[in-house]
């Protein structure tokens, strides 16, 4: 199993809603990541979890709240988002945080209305 599974694939939410993005991997990877990708731009790192602890937070607004319930799961809780937060949200995992390939999920296409 070399898959990173993200749900949902598409999400439309209002600016007052609370929603969550989910990510799952069963490769035994100990590092998991959230990236944000806007159209025609490269993926930009948001958060890194290493051994279920938040390792990197790239100055992401508090309306994005990550959670790592266990070594296979990574969530991104969304609250009071803005239309400019509309993007493709990508989850990735890797064996470790250093010098290892990251495997990406297919992403969640988020639209904030």
Binding residues for another protein (CB under 8 A): 4, 6, 31, 33, 41-45, 48, 55-56, 58, 88, 90-92, 96-99, 101-107, 109
Half-sphere exposure of 38 toward its Cβ, with a 13 Å CA cutoff? 6
Cβ proximity to another protein: between 79 and 104 the closer is 104
Least Å distance, CB 41 to another protein, is 7
Rg (CA), the chain: 13
Nearer to another protein, 48 or 112 (CB): 48
Smallest distance, another protein to C-beta of residue 37, A = 9
Assigned token pair, 26: 């069963």
Min dist. Cβ of residue 50 to another protein (A): 8
Residue closer to another protein, measured from CB, 52 or 80: 52
Give DSSP secondary structure letters for 38-85.
-TTS--EEEEEEETTEEEEE-S--TTEEEEEEETTEEEEEEES--GGG
């Amino acid at each position: 199993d070399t898959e990173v599974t993200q749900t949902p694939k598409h999400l439309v939410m209002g600016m007052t809603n609370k929603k969550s993005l989910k990510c799952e991997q069963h490769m035994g990877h100990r590092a998991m990541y959230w990236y944000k990708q806007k159209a025609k731009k490269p993926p930009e790192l948001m958060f890194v979890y290493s051994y279920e602890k938040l390792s990197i937070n790239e100055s992401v607004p508090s309306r994005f709240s990550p959670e790592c319930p266990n070594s296979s799961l990574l969530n991104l809780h969304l609250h009071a988002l803005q239309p400019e937060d509309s993007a493709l949200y990508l989850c990735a995992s890797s064996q470790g945080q250093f010098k290892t390939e990251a495997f990406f999920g297919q992403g969640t296409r988020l639209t904030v209305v």
